Structure 1
Amino acid sequence: MLKNYFQIACKVYMRRKLFTAINLLCIVLTMVVLLVVTALLQATFFPIGVEGKSERFLQIGTVTQVSKNSTRRSPLGYKVIDQYLRKMKTVEKVAAVTGPESVSVYQKDSVNEIMMRRADAEYWQILDFKLLSGRVPTEEDVKLGRFVAVINESTAKKIFGSTAVVSQKVVGQKINAGGQQFEIIGVVEDVIHMNAFADIWVPITTFPSSQYREQYTGNFNAMLMGKSAADLPLIRDELIQVVKQINADEPTHWDHTYMWADSKLDFFARGILSHDEVADSGAVQLLAGVVFFMLLFMLLPALNLVNLNSGRIMERAAEIGVRKAFGASNRELVKQFVMENILLCLFGALLGLIFTKLTLVWLSNADLIPYLKVDLSFAVFAYGFVIAIVFGVLSGVIPAWKMSRLDPVLALKGAA
């Protein structure tokens, strides 16, 4: 049966090549936009590579403190991480890292603005950077406050030239960043993920002053890693008790302190929806909104295809009349024409996947987004297949049902 549907569909679509081309163009453009957005969302919310352990760790980016007259929302201070979070029993590792900040790098006669982060040794144990040469900071480097640095590949090429990276002559070089001199001990692959994005990393203990150790708020993010994904609910529960202690110890005595350990998706949802004072990050609402807008985006071309399909199907009135005269039921006719439409959408999806791949390659190489590396995955391919089926059904059911209800006598005469 499917073979017959396929053969009929091929003959019908080749009969009116212009209509077929317009349908395919509409499907391909819609698919490319949806799949590119899907690939970017997947790379953001469910990263692999450097953040490949993301299913095992949670992150804390802000602490919100509320009193009767004011509210303060700020990144964490180092004291919160070092004296409270590191003592949590459900956590295997706790990493402290500053947010990226712009610093000037002076090298010979040139000045470059790059993004710097200061991190502890656990940071390099939680994230899986791809090391191109040298090594990453150790616990001893951090403890002794050694002025060592790790830079990414693009920064190494910008400062020392591409041949220096290839020949591994970057390691051991001195670099002046933000008025401090560091020795480069390693070069890592470029990454864009939120917790890893930077051009240069130096130990947390290289701050010009030790004042950061006593601050409840500052410019720090915390990463809490459990032994397995099953530990994450336990970490969240223990954090609630830790926050109560922080609120009691904080010298300014806020009425309430809120701090949440979030997964990648929860972290973005909380930031976008400003759910600072409730445990629910709003991830479900965020995903529902994304799905709603994707369906809305699909609806416009689907309505266009409904009109095109209605015109194409009505041209086959005589064929419909013959089939109904020989006993074909409305259900059989609807099934045939919906299947024809789904086959067209699947072919359009295949072309859409090819153009999506080319678009993602272009985005990765165009430097529109620094260090962006995103590609098609099995999940994105599966999404494309599902979108094609939904698209085919949405744009095929209405004209197919309208066609199946034609009177056989009028249909044989060619009248709708």
Structure 2
Amino acid sequence: MLKNYFKIAIAVLKRRKFFTFISLFGISFTITILMVATAFIDKVINDTYPDKKRERSLYITKMELRGKESMNGGTISYHFLNHFVGSLKTPVKLAISSMWQGTNTYVNDKKIAINYKYVNADYWDVLEYDFIEGKPFTKQQIANVERVTVISEDIKKQYFGNDDAPVLGKYIEADNEKYRISGVVKSVPITSYQFYSDIYLPYTLSKTDYKDTGYMGPYMAILLAPTVNDVDKMQKEFNQMAKKVPIPDKKMWDHLNVHADPYVESYVRSGNEQRSGMVYAITALVCFVLLVTLLPTLNLVNINITRIMERSSEIGVRKAFGASSKTLVYQFIVENIILTFIGGAIGIVLSFIALQIINRAELIANLNLSVNFTVLGYAILICLFFGLLSGVYPAWRMSRLNVVTALKAQ
């Protein structure tokens, strides 16, 4: 029976090539968009390089000072992280790093854009960068304010050329200063903004005063628990500490928001206690998925209704010869599912092609997108969902078609 339905479905698709093209395009384009978008989100959320201890970590990325008539939010000062967060007993390490900043340098009259960030010694213990050459600078070198740096593999190629000659001990110039290279690490994509940089510098070299006792500044931090089981304990200790932090300038501010979050929550953290960044992110994703899926579904419903009206005479004849409404509905839904699975298969093939094109174009450096096979399974379910959702109402319309009316249309 299914074999006959398949043959009928293919015959119907061939009969109305324009409607078939519109239907297949809508389905395949939707699947392609969803697959590419989820590949990007999966890379951003699940890529654990160099953050391989994520299950033991909490991330402090934003702070907000609020008053009745004003608000100040952003990243955090080194003093706050070192003095208040550094007093916690549960964490075994506190990695502190600034947001990356950009500058330009010149090599053989060629301008090279360099992004740099400042880090403390624990940064290299909490995060596990793959060192291609050398090693990180030490705590002693930071204390001695030595002009040393760890650079990315990408900036090594741009600054020194594409040859494999070692660069340890050589100097790189950035922001009108020269730094001796102590190590070269595998590059991080810019989407991992907490870990990305072209060069990493000791925080004691920062041109802003890291000893400033204000609460706002350019820094973020990662708390590392002894074990996974200690993460909740570490978060509770942090929350208790945050409640006891004295609020600066009480005439202007009356509330301080600062959070130690799991990675995904920290990535979208707004800084606001009442309105979580997760709410914004989930709302945006749901709206995007509904928009991308709803429009093709409505398009398919309209096209399917048109197809039914064109086949009214066929339906009338079959009903006159005893075909039940249940049989006709079942046949039409199966036909529609076959159509959507063909469109889904095309969409999956297009997704692989699109991801390869994006990777080769290097639109985002070091961001290598790949198909998530869990998402691929969901894509197949989406095809089934499309087939059912866009076929149920037209099939119901078909089952209600009067035999006499249908035969008159012949």
After TM superposition, the score normalised by the length of structure 2 is 0.87
- Structural mapping, 1:387-398, within 5 Å: 387-398=382-393
- Structural mapping, 1:1-400, within 5 Å: 2-68=2-68, 70-107=70-107, 109-163=109-163, 167-192=164-189, 193-207=192-206, 211-212=210-211, 214-247=213-246, 250=248, 254-271=253-270, 276-278=272-274, 281-325=276-320, 328-400=323-395
- CA gap of 1:409–1:244, structure 2 versus 1, over 3 A, is same
> Secondary structure, in 3 states, of the residue corresponding to 2:290?
helix
Looking at structure 1, the residues matched to 69 and 294 of structure 2 have their Cα atoms a distance apart, in angstroms, of 47
Per-residue deviation, 1:30: 2.0
- CA gap of 1:361–1:230, structure 2 versus 1, over 3 A, is farther
Letter in 1 for 2:193: M
Q: Deviations over 1:270-314 (max 9, x none)?
A: 33xxx6133x51424531342133212322222222222222233
Looking at structure 2, the residues matched to 323 and 93 of structure 1 have their Cα atoms a distance apart, in angstroms, of 75
Letter in 1 for 2:290: L
Looking at structure 2, the residues matched to 139 and 343 of structure 1 have their Cα atoms a distance apart, in angstroms, of 64
- CA gap of 1:153–1:259, structure 2 versus 1, over 3 A, is same
Looking at structure 2, the residues matched to 228 and 339 of structure 1 have their Cα atoms a distance apart, in angstroms, of 52
Looking at structure 2, the residues matched to 391 and 237 of structure 1 have their Cα atoms a distance apart, in angstroms, of 45
- CA gap of 1:132–1:332, structure 2 versus 1, over 3 A, is farther
Per-residue deviation, 1:413: 5.2
Note if contact 2:79-2:210 (Cα within 8 Å) is conserved in structure 1: no
Per-residue deviation, 1:268: 4.4
Looking at structure 2, the residues matched to 108 and 297 of structure 1 have their Cα atoms a distance apart, in angstroms, of 48
Q: Deviations over 1:140-167 (max 9, x none)?
A: 443444322122222111111112xxx2
Note if contact 2:77-2:210 (Cα within 8 Å) is conserved in structure 1: no
> Secondary structure, in 3 states, of the residue corresponding to 2:195?
coil
Looking at structure 1, the residues matched to 312 and 41 of structure 2 have their Cα atoms a distance apart, in angstroms, of 45
Write out the 4+ residue segments of structure 1 that deviate beyond 6 Å after TM superposition. none
Note if contact 2:28-2:347 (Cα within 8 Å) is conserved in structure 1: yes
Looking at structure 2, the residues matched to 371 and 292 of structure 1 have their Cα atoms a distance apart, in angstroms, of 29
Looking at structure 2, the residues matched to 307 and 215 of structure 1 have their Cα atoms a distance apart, in angstroms, of 61
CA RMSD of aligned residues (A): 2.8
Give the number of equivalent residue pairs.
407
Per-residue deviation, 1:227: 4.3
Looking at structure 1, the residues matched to 203 and 227 of structure 2 have their Cα atoms a distance apart, in angstroms, of 27
Looking at structure 2, the residues matched to 55 and 8 of structure 1 have their Cα atoms a distance apart, in angstroms, of 53
Letter in 1 for 2:239: I
Letter in 2 for 1:114: I
Letter in 2 for 1:281: S
Gapped regions of structure 1 (runs ≥ 5) = none
Per-residue deviation, 1:228: 4.9
Note if contact 1:104-1:114 (Cα within 8 Å) is conserved in structure 2: yes
Per-residue deviation, 1:211: 4.5
Single out whichever of 372-381 and 91-100 deviates more from structure 2. Answer: 372-381
Single out whichever of 251-260 and 400-409 deviates more from structure 2. Answer: 251-260
Per-residue deviation, 1:405: 1.6
Gapped regions of structure 2 (runs ≥ 5) = none
Looking at structure 2, the residues matched to 406 and 251 of structure 1 have their Cα atoms a distance apart, in angstroms, of 75
Looking at structure 2, the residues matched to 316 and 209 of structure 1 have their Cα atoms a distance apart, in angstroms, of 75
Looking at structure 2, the residues matched to 54 and 153 of structure 1 have their Cα atoms a distance apart, in angstroms, of 23
> Secondary structure, in 3 states, of the residue corresponding to 1:183?
strand
Per-residue deviation, 1:2: 4.4
Note if contact 2:61-2:269 (Cα within 8 Å) is conserved in structure 1: no
- CA gap of 1:312–1:241, structure 2 versus 1, over 3 A, is same
Per-residue deviation, 1:96: 0.3
Letter in 2 for 1:393: L
